[in-house]
Amino acid sequence: MSANNMADPRRQNKILRYKPPSTETNPTLEDPTPDYMNLLGMIFSMCGLMLKLKWCAWIAVYCSFISFANSRSSEDTKQMMSSFMLSISAVVMSYLQNPQPMSPPW
């Protein structure tokens, strides 16, 4: 076993643990995708609720899932969960008012 350690070319003093770069020093590293998807989800949810458009409600659910998947664990989860619940309620309300299958928008 000690012969194996002698043949190991790695240097223990050169091994450094990876630390992700902080966004405070470089704000360009922050990804705006979750915020944009959260906003789009809320807009489509409101269109689905107010205009009774089922496809808008489903797009809102899709945007909420993308926002949740791309978010960091340190971000505010209340806003994300409220957007997700708003999109789910848009789907439920649009199907409660008209239980027919969704017709294509074209």
What's the rounded Cα separation, in Å, for the pair 90 and 54? Answer: 8
In this predicted model, what pLDDT tens digit does every residue of 61-71 receive, in sequence order? 999 999 988 88
pLDDT at 73: 74
Query: Domain for residue 39, yes or no?
Result: yes
Q: DSSP string spanning 77-102?
A: HHHHHHHHHHHHHHHHHHHHH--SPP
Query: Domain for residue 17, yes or no?
Result: yes
How many domains does the chain contain in total? 1
pTM of the model: 0.70
Query: Domain for residue 1, yes or no?
Result: no
Query: Domain for residue 38, yes or no?
Result: yes
State which residues form the domain around 68. 10-95
Q: How far is CA 50 from CA 1, 37, 47, 57, in A?
A: 72, 20, 5, 10
Query: Domain for residue 66, yes or no?
Result: yes
In this predicted model, what pLDDT tens digit does every residue of 1-50 receive, in sequence order? 555 566 777 788 888 888 877 767 666 667 788 889 999 999 999 999 99
Instruction: Bin 22: left if φ > 0, else alpha if -120 < ψ < 50, else beta.
Output: beta
